[in-house]
Every structure is written in C-alpha cells, then in structure tokens.
Amino acid sequence: MGAFHSVPDDHEYHILSEKTGFSLEQIGILHNRFKQLSHNSDVLRRNDLHTIPDLACNPIRSQIVEAFFDGRNFRKNCEGPVQEIGFEEFLIVMSYFRPPSVHMTEEQREDIRRHKLRFLFNMHDTDNDGTITLEEYRHVVEELLSRSGSLGRETAKGIADAAMLEVANMSMGRMGPGEVYAGITFEHFLKILKDIEIETRMHIRFLNMDTTTLCK
C-alpha cells in the first residue's frame, strides 16, 4: 500500500555526498534501491543481496557480497566481516564504482586508482593478512572457471599456478630453488595492474538524470 514516505534529511544527504562523492540525486536513487533490497528496513543483510537473480548467475557472487560486508572497505579503521550494514556503508562500498569526474588532478586520479585496487585486493585477500597467497588466488580462479565445463579442475589449478608464477617472476626476478614465494603484497598488486585502465573498467554509469528527478 502506498504509505507516505518520510522525506529524508537533506542535511544527511549532504554529508554523505561529501564523503562519497555521489550527487544528491544519485544518493536518493541508491537509497530507494537500498530500501527495496532490505525490504524497507534500515540494515541490509547478506541474504537480501543473495535474492537478486541477476547476481546469482555471477561466478564470483559470494566474493562480491562479502565485499559489501567487509570492514576494510568502510574506510573507518574497522577490520573483519560484519553481519549487517546500514545505508552509509552501502554507499561507501558503491563509491568504489563511482564514475570518474572530468575535473580531477593527477594526484586525485592516482588516489582513486589506489582505492579501487585496494578494494579488489581485499576481495582476493580473504584472511586479511596483507598478502594474496597461492591458495587464495587459486580459490578465485576456480570460482571464475567452470567446475564441470570445458575446463577441468586440474586445468583451473594449472592456470592459477601459472599466473602466480608469472607474478612471482615479475616481482622478485629469478627465484632460487629454495626460495618460497609468500604471496602477492599490495605493492606487487599495484605493479602488476599498473597498465590496466581501472577508471574505465570499474565504474557504473548512471543514466542521464533529466527525466528522473526527486520530489522535494
């Protein structure tokens, strides 16, 4: 039934806008979406995200959902996973996918790039020890590839191992026979992906806002 919406505080939106960089309109629309997903409650749980059918056919859906509930992504100096998140945390995680604005200095661009890569790094590094070990990396590769399709499990493992080897070579040069590669640190991660244009690959394009504006 059409209950009357309480129009949210403009003031709150302004604070959020400054923190995350979204415009007021975008925050309003995302707020509606948040309420739709959480069934009008103030907190979102993992189950709410799992009900989205489009998401369910994404191979790394569990990693993506975890990313929303990962304390490291909230920029608040809290670590470890949480059980439920409010709209502010939701928005902060979304801000990693914000489209780049045209007027940005080199420094700001670098900063944003670092943040996005950190987000991806956290997604791989599930035990939060600061490195992506071979095990963790293998796990992600297996999720991406089919377990029953054209690539068998052994092949998937082989691909993960090969990729790790490449990374090790790149970051540590030739390794001696006794040396063990501990894992990819964040710095190595940055080096590997320095040529990929994250700004264009990792953002969500909001449609033109002309026909959809908020009621004040």
Partner 1 sequence: MESYLFPFDNLLCMLLGISFTVWFTLLLVFIIVPAVFGVSFGIRRLYMNTLLKIFEWATLRMERGAKEKNQHLYKPYSNGIIAKEPASLEQEFQEMRRSGSGSGLGGAEFEMSDIFHFCRRGVESIVDDEVTKRFSAEELESWNLLTRSNYNFHHISTRLTVLWGVGVLIRYGILLPLRVTLAFTGVGLLVFLTSIIGLLPNGGMKCFLSEKAHLMCYRICVRALTAIITYHDSENKPKNGGICVANHTSPIDVIILASDGCYAMVGQVHGGLMGVIQRAMVKACPHIWFERSEVKDRHLVAKRLNDHVADKTKLPILIFPEGTCINNTSVMMFKKGSFEISCTVYPVAIKYDPRFGDAFWNSSKFGMVNYLLHMMSSWAIVCSVWYLPPMSREEGEDAVQFANRVKAAIARKGGLADLLWDGGLKREKVKEVFKEEQQKLYSKVLVGGGEDRSRS
Q: How far is CA 84 from CA 5, 66, 159, 178, in A?
A: 23, 11, 35, 45
From the list 81, 64, 84, the residue with the least C-alpha distance to 72 is 81
One-letter amino acid identity for 48?
D
Does 140 help bind partner 1 (rule: CB under 8 A)? yes
Q: How far is CA 123 from CA 30, 71, 119, in A?
A: 23, 12, 6
Judged by CB under 8 A, the stretch of 8-16, 56-64, 80-88, 107-115 that binds partner 1 is 56-64
Structure tokens at 215: 């009621």
The residue (of 177 and 201) whose beta carbon lies closer to partner 1 is: 201
What is the number of alpha carbons within 13 Å of residue 207 lying toward its C-beta? 6
Using DSSP's 3-state secondary structure scheme, residue 78 falls into coil
Binding mask 176-215 for partner 1 (x = CB under 8 A): ----------------xx-xxxx--xxxxxxx---xxxxx
The residue (of 83 and 105) whose beta carbon lies closer to partner 1 is: 83
Q: Give the nearest distance from C-beta 180 to partner 1 in angstroms.
A: 21
Q: Give the nearest distance from C-beta 137 to partner 1 in angstroms.
A: 9
For partner 1, the binding residue among 17, 21, 29, 186 (CB under 8 A) is: 29
The residue (of 182 and 196) whose beta carbon lies closer to partner 1 is: 196
Backbone angles phi, psi at 199, to 5 degrees: -55, -35
Report the distance separating Cα 8 and Cα 30, nearest Å: 13
- Residues 144-163 contacting partner 1, CB under 8 A: 144-151, 159-160, 162-163
Q: Which residues bind partner 1 (CB under 8 A)?
A: 1-5, 29-30, 33, 36-37, 49-61, 64, 68, 94, 97, 120, 123, 140-141, 144-151, 159-160, 162-163, 166-167, 170, 192-193, 195-198, 201-207, 211-216
